[in-house]
Structures are given as C-alpha cells and as structure tokens.
Structure 1
Amino acid sequence: MTLEYQVTVSTEDVAFAGTIDDVYITLVGQDGSSKHVKLDKSKFAFHKGDVSTFTVTCSEDLGQLLEIHLEKQGGIIIKDSWLPAKVEVESPDGKVYSFPIYHWLTDSKKHFFREGAAVLDFQETNPQMIKTRKKELKNKKNLYRWAVYKEGTPLCMEADTLKSLPPDDRYPFTRELEFGFTAVAALAKLGLEAWSHCIDKWNSMSDIEKLFECHVTSMSDYAMKHWREDAFFGYQFLNGVNPMMIQRCKTLPSKFPVPSNMTFSKSQLTLRTEMMKGNIFLCDYNILDGVETNTINGRKQFLAAPLVLLHKNEDDEMMPIAIQLKQKPGKDNPIFFPTDSEYDWLLAKTYVKSADSNLHELNFHLLRTHLLAEVFAVSLQRNLPRVHPVYKLLIRHTRYTLQINFLARKSLISESGTITRYTASGGKGMLTLLDRSVSSLTYRSLCIPDDIADRGLEDVPNFYYRDDGLKLWNIMHRFVHDILSFYYKNDGMVQNDAELQNWIQEIFENGFLRRSETGIPQKFTTVAELVKFVTMVMFTCSAQHAAVNTGQYDLYGWMPNGPSTMQEPPPTQKGKADEARFLSTLPDVQTTVHILATIWLLSMQSSDARYLHEFVEEHFTEDFPKYKVTMFQGDLIKLSEDIKSRNENLRLPYTFLDPKLVENSVAI
C-alpha cells in the first residue's frame, strides 16, 4: 500500500531567501518516519517568495506528525543559503500539519523543525521530542553566548564581527548595504561634507539655519521656528523624544530654593498654592552631577545637572518657571526665571536641553531600549525552544536587535564613535552615566502604567506619550494574557516550567546584574506575573523604543533645541549673556555636523521595516492563538485610526506611538 503526503514548502519573500540547491525532507510521525527524500523541484521552487507542493510517498501510515527534517545540498564551490518560511503537510486522511521555520539554512546538515502547536517542557511525553527539544537548546546555547561589553552594564551577545552573529539575527544583504552606505555617506547625502572638518564656533544663527536646510521635516521645521518659546520647551517634557524626566512636585527640594511666595502667570498665582493644587512639576537631572566631561577638538566641554520647575497654566500648557543649572544652591548658582533678560533665560533653557539630550541618549534610549532588548533576545534564544509559547510571542520583537547593537558598539559608542567623540558625556563620563543609569533601573519604571503613576502624571492634560502608550500597553497586555492563559491554565504550570524560569533567571543575572532592588522577578510564580513581564518586554522592544528614537531628527535636527554638548561652563551670574555668548557656548561646527548626520541615520525608516500590526511570520498554528492575533491586529489598527483623527486637531501631531509607525523591534 502506498500513502501520499502532500508537502507544501514556502520560501520567505525577502532578499536572497531563495536557493538553487537540492532540498531533502523526512516526515517524522508517532508511528514511523518517511524516507529521506529529495523534493523534485520545478524551475522556480525554493526561489524568493515561492510556494511549491510536492508528493512524499510512504508504505505505511506515519500517525500524528511530530517533526520534519530538512536538508539542503548544493554545489561545493557556491555557498547558497536558504530561508524557508514554513512547511505544510497534508496527510492521506486530509489533516494539515504546519511547521513554522523562519530560519536560515546555511549548511548541508539536517535541521529539525517541530509541528507548530506550542508545547511546554513538562508536557512532552514522546521520548524523541524530549531529545529534540534538549538538542535544540544545547545548539542555541552554543550559538548565543553572553559577553561583557563594559563592567557594570548589561551583558551582550558575544560577537567579534558581524559575520559571527547567527544568520537569523543579521540584516539581509540589502539592509546591510543600505545601512552601511548611509553610515558612510550620511554626511555626503546631507551635503554636509564641506562643514565636517570645520572646528570653528558658530558666527551667527543664520549659519546654523543654512546647515539645517540640508534636511527638513515638518516637525524639525516647527522646532526651528518655536524653540525659543517657553510653551514648546515645556511641551517637549511631555511629548518630545524624552518624556521620561518630568514628575509632579508636591514639595520643593531644599537644594532648589525657589521662593514659595513667588508669583507667575497673568493671574499672579503663587508657587505654594499651585503646588497644593498639583499644578507644579519638576525635572531633576541629579544623575548628571559630577560626570566627567569630554574634550572635543582640544576644548573642555560642559554638562549641567539642572533642576527645572514647570507650571501647568490656565491654558493647560506646561510652562517653565524656574531653572537652576547646578545641584548645590549658592551665590555662583543663580536661579533663572522667565522674567530675566532674553539671553540669560534662553541660555539656561539650552543648558537644560543639552543635559536632557545627553541623558536621553545614554539612559532612556541606549540602556533602557537597546541594551535591555538585547538581553531579552539572547536569553530567549538560549532558554526557550521554538515550540515554546513565550518564544512564539516574543521572537518577532527581537528582529535585527543583535546586529544594530553590534553596529552601535562599533560606530557610535566605541572609542572613535560619534557619541563618544561629539557629546559632552562621551568618553569616561559615558561609563559613569551608564553605571548610574543601571543603578536607577527599576521594573516599575519599565512598565508604563506604574511609571506614570509613580511620577504622578495620570491626569496631566495633552500628554500624548502617556495616552497612546497606556492604550498600547493595555492592548498588548490583553493579547499576552489571552495567549498565555491558553497555555498556562493555572499558576502551578508557570512554576513547573523550567525553561521559563531559566529565561527570567538569565535576564535577572545578565540584564539587571543580580540587583534584587530593581524589583525584576527572579522567578515566576503566577500567570499574572508572567503576563506583565512579557508585556513589558514587548512594549520595551517596540513602543518604548519608538517613543525615544523616532523623533530624534525631528527634535534635535535643529541643533539649539538639543545640543550634544556645551562649550562654556554654566553661567555663575546673571546679566552677562548676549547672542555672541550664546553662540560661543553651542557645539562647534564639526560636532554639530557629525551629530546631525548620526541622528538623521538613526531616525531613518528602513525599506524592510516591520510594524507592530504586521505578523509576517506565523509562529502560532492553533486556531485560538491565530484568532487572538487577528483581534490584536484589529485593536492596533483601531488605535492607529484614533491617533490619526486626534492628530488632525493638533498643531503639532504626536505620531511616535501610532502602531502603524512603531517598528516591532529595536532594529535601528
């Protein structure tokens, strides 16, 4: 008796995914295996985006299908990689089994792929599947190894070169070309080469405007036109590229002696009464105090550690009312007010913007999205097999993260990197600041509902980062809860999942450096704990990164709105500032140009970006999770439409957390 199995093989529709090599398959079932057979291909089988069906014959029924073995064999001279998407097998009785792959085959070894239904480790009953599961994790632990980048910072993926990264974690060739080309040619593409060797100070604001004209977005244009205005300065603490510093102020810190009877605004409100009403807010940059600053082009640079007091006025605008540039009060550390001279006040605000941009890049962008995303990704690969539901949920949120971080370590924060060379906190200061930032990391600060509550910002009007972020978090949380509750029927199942416990343990050890004070779980005891943590990982790798990355060129493209460094020390007395003093304090021409090219590059959307609502890869194969994926996509698209309609009525639209514009992963 001959039984026929219909095998449909899909190749991913990305650059260079196809192969001309021969492909062999073995079907493995509960009751036996097929022969290892070559799939006789037509002319275009296994080419990019191809879907081809083959017949595999067996002399007996294999029973329920468990896994397939795939092998690719080709010419000795040409190494031809292949990226299959999935294999579907229809058995003689009409049942269809799905095998998700999404994995580069670069050698001629046999590769094992499980049937797609998610299975927890303690649910495995078949000895062959237990063996396959253990073998997969052993292989992945050899492939994904931890390394120390700098003592006191989260561990990273061990890789000496780009090519030493696993193929699944590297850009396809086109993306590599695109990134490499723009990294090398960003200055040329922006027409900035002529400026890139000039180490002079700026002579006039009109010269900065000429430079700015190389690339203008609607928001960078707005920033250039409104950067001097107090309302725009205050707005950015809520909806700029760093919405992470502002908090409600209930009592004024003693180090910031602003008179409590101080009056401000048209109706002569006092600080004391407005603080009691909850209308006063504080940004305290004490983390920057004493950070050793850089030397750029032979000049010592400066970085303030300011305190900023803000008032929510009658028009619901967030207005700055007092700025102190150093932490310790004293005669040589005046408090600046909007009533001071134009350039005294503008200079004080610009020192704040420079401090904010330095802290934003290293703490809220590099550490809290890029470095943590890498920890989540490496631990995921090392501890969870492809058949694990948490792996299936999170794998799309790790796409290209290892590669972009490798490039960042090589070209941005290395000794010759742009951030190292052209920011006030570059060099030794960077390590101090990263170390302090790691110490300030808490689990609650990574979960937007907790973070907003802890900063007392639940009812601040016109706070779109909070509004969109909380909606996104809730949509993600509901999705994660529905999916994981399907697999974990009770808390005991979470406790019994050894792979899951290993995953969180490695994150605690290698990402949070065994600091129990962070509040990061060291183990999971309930389904609810697991759901919250997985939601945090998903949010951090997608939405939070978008919030602190996307708008960099929009808001720092006009350099005075976020200078990477300051060339003069903070003023020790009032009445000395004028336009000439202001210009001499700003970064020099070369520094401005190099930072501009870098943030332009970091704000680019790549041609093969994947967004939050897109599920290009189908890792879940059962009906219930597939249905929940569809529901999740619908919720995201609805939120995107709501954000668009809200933005139509805003003078300055907030788009950073529109799900259709949020990349799935830290990929740029």
Structure 2
Amino acid sequence: MDAEPSNCISDLGSVRESGPLCLEGVISVPTLVSSELSGPIWDRCVRTSMAQSETLCIPAHQTDSGGSVQSEREWGQPPAGGSTLAVPDLVLGDGSPPGLSTMGDSDQRGPFVPASWQDLASSPGNLEVVGMAHQGPVVLDTGLPADVQETIASARAPSSRRLYSSKWRVFESWCLSHAEFSFDICVKDDFGDIVKVKIEKGKHFVNFQWFCKNIKVKAPSGKYFEFPCYCWIADDEVIIREGTARLPQDDTGLFKEQREKELESKQEQFSWKEWSPDIPKCADGNVKKLPKEVWFDIVKSAEFTWNSTKAIVDYGLGWLKGYFYPLNDVTDFEKILKDLEKILQDFNIENNLETVMQDWTKDYMFGYQFLNGCNPVMITKCVNLPKNFPVTDEMVKGFLKKGVTLQEELEAGNIYIADYKILDGVPTSSSQLYLAAPICLLYKDRLDQIVPIAIQLSQNRNGETSPIFLPSDNEYDWMLAKMWVKSADFIIHQLVTHLLKTHLISEVFEMAMYRKLSAVHPVYKLLKPHVRFTIAINVAARKNLVNEGGVFSKISSLSVAGMETVMQSAMESLTYESLCFPEAIKARGMEDVPKYYYRDDGKKIWKTINCFVSTVVKIYYDSDEAVQNDTEIQEFVKDVSSGMNNSGKFQKSLKTREDLSEYLTVAIFTASAQHAAVNFGQFDWYAWIPNSPSTMRKPPPEQKGLVDLKWIMESLPDRGCSSLVQGTVWDLSRFQNNEV
C-alpha cells in the first residue's frame, strides 16, 4: 500500500518575556540550479502573531530587474545592551536573506540586517536587501568566510545594500536539500504566549514553492512554543497555530472560525473520486494537482523512478532475449535472475530466495507459504468440506496420520483450506492466457507442518473435467496443480490482500484525515506519519500498475475489467471487523495453528499499537462523552465510511474512547504492519517464477497423466513476462533510504 522537491522557508517564533527571542527553523531549497546572476528574487514575509496583537516580521527583499541600488545609508553603532543576531547556515528557497521588523502602530524601517554566507551564495541574481529591526541597529555574528564577512561588515544602509554571488556558489547552495537557521531578537515588551504564526509568500513570474517544516520559539523564560507546519507555501498565506493539540470543542471565537476555514479549504483541495463502482474511493486528480505535501519527497521520488526504470530495462532485455533464448527447462529461470543481478547490481540471490529455489517443489515449502509467505490470509480452518469439492477419505487416507479418518481430522481441527472461488468466472485479457479458481486442502501433519493433500483446479465438481489432484499422482501432475494454486494466490495477493486491503483502504483514511481533521487535532497528528505517501503511491499505481496496458495487465491474465471484478467481489466480504487483526485471525480459525509467525508477530504489534493509541486517546478525551462531542472525529468516521464505498459495512459514528482507540489502531496497523507483512517479502517468494507464476499460458489439465515437463514449460510465463515480474517485485520490495 513508498516528491517533495525542496524549496522552502521556515522556523520562526516569539517571546513570553522581554529579552532575547530565539527562533529556529528548517528550510528546504530549490532543486533547480541557476546559471544566471540577473533577474528578480521574489520576496517573502514571515510574521508571528502574538496574543497582544503585536506582530514580529521577517520581511521581503527583491532586486529590481535592472539590479540598481535603491538607497545606501550609513550604519549606526549598536546601542548599549544591544543583542547579537546569529544566523548560521541560513539558506532560503529563493535566496532571500531575512530582515527584521515590528508591525504595530507604525511601520518604521530600521537598520539593515544582513544574512549568512550560505544565504548570499544561494542567490540566483543580484540581491537588494531591505531589512528592519525592532530596536535600532543589530550586530551580526555569522562566522562567514573573510571576503563575504568583509562585504557585510562594510554595509552602510539601514534600508538596502546590493550583494553579489558567484555562479559556483549559486550551484552549491541550490543543491542543498535543507538547512536550519536560528537567531535571537531582543524585544522590549512581554507579548505573552504566542498563539499563531503567519507565513506569506509573494507572487512572481518565477514562483517556486517553499516547504516549511516547523517553527520553534524559545522565550527568555525558557518556555518553548512550537508551530508545526509540514506544508508547502505557494502564493497564499499560511497561518500556523501553536502546536499543542486541541479538540474542536476546546476552541472558541477566532480559533474556531480559523479551524472551520481550514477544513473548508482542505475539502476543496482533497475531493473524492469513484475509481470504479463498489471499490474504495480515491483522491480526485493527478498527484501534481494535489497539495505538494502529499507528493513523494525528493529522495523517495528519485529512488522510486530509478528502481522502476531498472525494472523496465530488465523487462526489455528479457523480452528481447526471449526470441533467441527460449526457456526449455525450469532451471532456465535462474538465468533470468542472473541477468537481473547484473542490472540491479545491489541484488544477489541469497537467504530466503535461495531456500525457495532449492525447495519450491517440496510440499512443506508449498504449505509454509500459506502461513508466512506474501499472502498469509487465505488459509482457513476447514470444519466441513465444500459441496463442490468432493474429497473422500479413500483419496487422502495415505497422507493422514495412521488410523485416523478425514472426518476425524476435520473435527480435530487439523484440516485447512484455501479456496479461490473469487476468481471463478473472471474473464482473462487474452485467449492465450488462462486463469483458474482452485481449491486446495491442507493438513497439519505429525511434524506440525502444513502440507497439501488435495487440489481441484476449478469450482466445478465434475470429476471428468476437473479431477482432484493428489500427492500420489505423477510428479508433473502434482507439480503443475500446485503451480495453478500459487498462480491464483499471486493474483489474489496483489489485487486484494495488497492493493485493496492495505493501499486503497489506507488512502481512504488519509483522505478523510485531510478533509475532516484540523492540523491541530490530536488524531491528525497521530495518523499523519503512518499514512504518509499513500495517496502519492496509489496515484502512481493507478497510472502505471493497474491501468489498461499497465504492468499488472502485462504480467497477469487479467485486463482492467478483470481486476475490477476481482476487487468488487472481495469488497462483498470486506467489513470493519475484518480489518481488526485479532478478530480476523479468529474468524479464520487460525488461533492455534503452529509456526504461524504472521499471527504471532501481528498480535504483538497490534497490541503495542493499541496500547499506545489508547494512551493518547485518554490524554485528550477524559470521557466517552468527549468522543461523542468531537464533531471532527464524528465527521472523519462518516467520511471514511463514505470513502469505503461498500454499503455501510463501516460504522458512521464512535461512542466510546475504546471504540476510538480500536478504530485508530485499525488505520495505523493497516498502513504499517499489515502492509509490511504482505509487501516486503515479494521478491523472496515471487522472484523464482515457478514457485508463484503470475500467469499461465495453457489451460488447466482436465485429466490426469497428461502433464510432462514440456507441458509445464509451455504453461509458465515466457522470458519477457518473467523478467518484468522479477523487476517489479524487486522494485516493490525495496526499502527507501529514508524509510523506517
């Protein structure tokens, strides 16, 4: 269910008592590299609004198109007791050095306050700096290189001064990904607690956006005020409230009005779109039309694009080699892996993949994957055999413990089943590709291993055209029957377990979060890190993976219509309860099966997340009534229910703190632990194509005794398809460098 081009402004604050005011911040700078030294620099103004209506301002500066100096005045000496302004490592997205001012009863401009060397070096043109201060001249201590320090020290103007930067410094500074700056401001009066900060950015012909991470203010008393922003600043102003989380019922007056306007704006930016009937709704529009905070950051975007490119290159080479080097034996698939290793460089065949390649034909390995493979949610305890799966005691008695019958093992809870009926009747994308809806019966043997004991390759109980394959059949009959099961499992895993039940569901939670929760709501702060990049990755998936002619249609047997049919069928059984991990395990009767590490680890993670979430909920909600009176939470839950698009199978309100804790645990667990469990093992289990074929090129055999190695090789994906599968699952399984 993993870009944020860096251009940014940031971190400001204010003061509680008279004395130095410390402001800190983090800035990202543009990725664009300028080779020109002429042209205007756009302006920006950062204001901090105080409780007592005073505003501290870091105002704009701009060169005129001709680069002329407007004025130049003598610097005065700093007054006795004047404070020192330190601006280390300051790099603004537009190359703008800051000035200082107060905006109260008058707007008198004070002496020029220069910036640091990095700031000067970032300028893509000549700088005309306008700076203002609250209490007369301010002494700058920057520790700059000697030549730049001298230039600044000789500046004379209280209002302006032209500074020049070299091209290599422009290049160096604009390549930085982020920077942090801090400085002190000496203030005369006690402003009280700071409640909000306003950031404004002027409109210009060249109009880069800035990303503001957060603003942190330390008052002389030592008290901190934090203003988390984490958004891009375009042409409009951004008002950031002090970061203390607050419920909507705790806000009144102007704060309540601001909160309502914030949500109105977000609902215009984030609107729902029905991707397909009866499938969860998604974000409306291309990711570039959405606010930049939902984009990939630069690192993730670059790695995602590069990894996808390498996967496509591997596919192209595989497709080309297919003409000259067809696959004649199962071992030939190892050659494709060797080709992939040369392209990816950092990839090597080892650990789990090596074990799969060695043991993929063994029944224990086949059964183990139902417990701890990529799709550990298909297996269910079998109490009664389906009527369309007429397995008899005579068929399987040789595979059960000595002296017991099939019925006795069913009653003892030792029989399990994986039924792929959801694929029955789904049309394929080509007459040359095939899809089956198999049923597989599994058994917990004396070694506590899960092994297959019977496989039927259709939902049709007609034994003449749909025989039940057994471990005692000839080697290739049984091998191909297991391949058909794993091929069906691949389809269900990718479309239902992975795409639908982690990615699309998490997107619904993220969309509803942006639309219905204010940025100061504690639940917004709790959820945001866990749903990060979900919208961006899903937009990419809808564009490149599950679209018509996309990757999935190339590696599977399904068209877009077939994919939608599968997911629509899965939605019929999708409920809120099915996303609650403990209840889902219980519903499948999998509480006591041995060696089920997905269950064991998942229960621990679920419990930990729920404990943490419950603690947070109790901090902000002192009673169940507080949950009921939280209008934003209630609207959030309604919006999630609407976004799920499946006829009211998700609740539309929450009554208690316990309900809220479980609800948020579902959202976090789905986006994090569940997604990790079904995503990051894909290369290990799917890179060896015979273990889990993504598609089949021959129909299922209707009789036993017909299959040989040639039949199997003609059924498995060709070299080009296999190369694309391997490249794709390698890409999907990758951790990004900045991913935890």
Q: CA deviation at 1:391?
A: 0.3
Residue matched to 2:687: 557
Say if 2:669 is the partner of 1:539: yes
Conserved? CA contact 1:201–1:584, under 8 Å: no
Secondary structure at the residue paired with 1:219?
helix
The letter for the 2-side match of 1:323 is I
Q: CA deviation at 1:508?
A: 0.4
Q: CA deviation at 1:267?
A: 4.2
How do residues 96-245 of structure 1 correspond to structure 2 at under 5 angstroms?
A: 96-107=224-235, 109-125=236-252, 127-160=253-286, 162-188=287-313, 192-193=317-318, 195=320, 198=323, 202-213=327-338, 214-215=340-341, 216-245=349-378
Q: CA deviation at 1:223?
A: 1.2
Conserved? CA contact 2:624–2:655, under 8 Å: yes
- Cα pair distance change 1:354/1:186, threshold 3 Å: same
The letter for the 1-side match of 2:194 is L
Residue matched to 1:29: 50
Q: Work out the percentage of aligned pairs sharing the same amino acid.
A: 37
Say if 2:455 is the partner of 1:326: no
Give the gaps of 5 or more residues in structure 1.
612-668
Q: Which has the larger radius of gyration?
A: 2
Conserved? CA contact 2:330–2:690, under 8 Å: no
The letter for the 2-side match of 1:569 is P
1:533-581 CA distance string (max 9 Å, x none): 1000001111111111111111010011111111111111111111111
Q: CA deviation at 1:455?
A: 0.7
Q: CA deviation at 1:43?
A: 3.2
Q: Distance in 2 between matches of 1:419 and 1:224?
A: 24
1:471-523 CA distance string (max 9 Å, x none): 00000000000001110111111111111111111110112x1522x3x2111
Which of 575, 590, 598 is residue 720 of structure 2 equivalent to? 590
Q: Distance in 2 between matches of 1:435 and 1:288?
A: 11
Q: Distance in 2 between matches of 1:540 and 1:190?
A: 31
Q: Distance in 2 between matches of 1:196 and 1:527?
A: 60
The letter for the 2-side match of 1:223 is V
Say if 2:404 is the partner of 1:274: no
The letter for the 2-side match of 1:550 is F
Conserved? CA contact 2:548–2:559, under 8 Å: no
Q: Distance in 2 between matches of 1:124 and 1:6?
A: 27
Q: CA deviation at 1:601?
A: 1.4
Q: Which moved more, 1:333-342 or 1:93-102?
A: 93-102
- Cα pair distance change 1:195/1:461, threshold 3 Å: farther
Q: CA deviation at 1:190?
A: 7.9
- Cα pair distance change 1:155/1:141, threshold 3 Å: same
Q: CA deviation at 1:101?
A: 1.7
- Cα pair distance change 1:364/1:199, threshold 3 Å: farther
- Cα pair distance change 1:18/1:271, threshold 3 Å: farther
Q: CA deviation at 1:17?
A: 12
Residue matched to 1:312: 444
Which of 91, 99, 113 is residue 219 of structure 2 equivalent to? 91
Say if 2:407 is the partner of 1:263: no
The letter for the 2-side match of 1:148 is E
- Cα pair distance change 1:52/1:560, threshold 3 Å: same
Give the TM-score taking structure 1 as reference length. Answer: 0.85
Conserved? CA contact 2:28–2:177, under 8 Å: yes
Secondary structure at the residue paired with 2:231?
coil
Secondary structure at the residue paired with 2:539?
helix
Residue matched to 2:587: 454
Q: Distance in 2 between matches of 1:164 and 1:503?
A: 23
Q: Which moved more, 1:534-543 or 1:200-209?
A: 200-209
Conserved? CA contact 1:11–1:83, under 8 Å: no
Q: CA deviation at 1:182?
A: 2.7
How do residues 465-476 of structure 1 correspond to structure 2 at under 5 angstroms?
A: 465-476=598-609
Conserved? CA contact 2:280–2:646, under 8 Å: no
Conserved? CA contact 2:273–2:283, under 8 Å: yes
Secondary structure at the residue paired with 1:66?
strand
Q: Which moved more, 1:261-270 or 1:98-107?
A: 261-270
Q: CA deviation at 1:78?
A: 4.0
Conserved? CA contact 2:400–2:406, under 8 Å: no
Q: CA deviation at 1:24?
A: 3.1
Residue matched to 1:530: 660
Q: CA deviation at 1:44?
A: 3.8
Conserved? CA contact 1:504–1:522, under 8 Å: yes
Q: Distance in 1 between matches of 2:201 and 2:117?
A: 16
Residue matched to 2:195: 66
Conserved? CA contact 1:25–1:69, under 8 Å: yes
Q: Distance in 2 between matches of 1:578 and 1:48?
A: 58
Q: Distance in 2 between matches of 1:452 and 1:5?
A: 58
Secondary structure at the residue paired with 1:521?
coil
Conserved? CA contact 1:11–1:18, under 8 Å: no
- Cα pair distance change 1:374/1:211, threshold 3 Å: same
Residue matched to 2:116: 42
- Cα pair distance change 1:67/1:85, threshold 3 Å: same
Residue matched to 2:128: none
The letter for the 2-side match of 1:84 is C
Q: CA deviation at 1:92?
A: 4.3
The letter for the 1-side match of 2:498 is H
The letter for the 1-side match of 2:454 is A
Which of 390, 393, 402 is residue 535 of structure 2 equivalent to? 402
Say if 2:508 is the partner of 1:382: no
The letter for the 1-side match of 2:516 is N
Q: Distance in 2 between matches of 1:226 and 1:494?
A: 53
Conserved? CA contact 1:18–1:83, under 8 Å: no
RMSD: 2.6
Give the gaps of 5 or more residues in structure 2.
1-15, 35-40, 60-97, 100-114, 123-175, 342-348
Conserved? CA contact 1:11–1:48, under 8 Å: no
Give the TM-score taking structure 2 as reference length. Answer: 0.77
Residue matched to 2:142: none
How do residues 432-581 of structure 1 correspond to structure 2 at under 5 angstroms?
A: 432-511=565-644, 513-516=645-648, 518=649, 520-581=650-711
Q: Distance in 2 between matches of 1:150 and 1:394?
A: 26
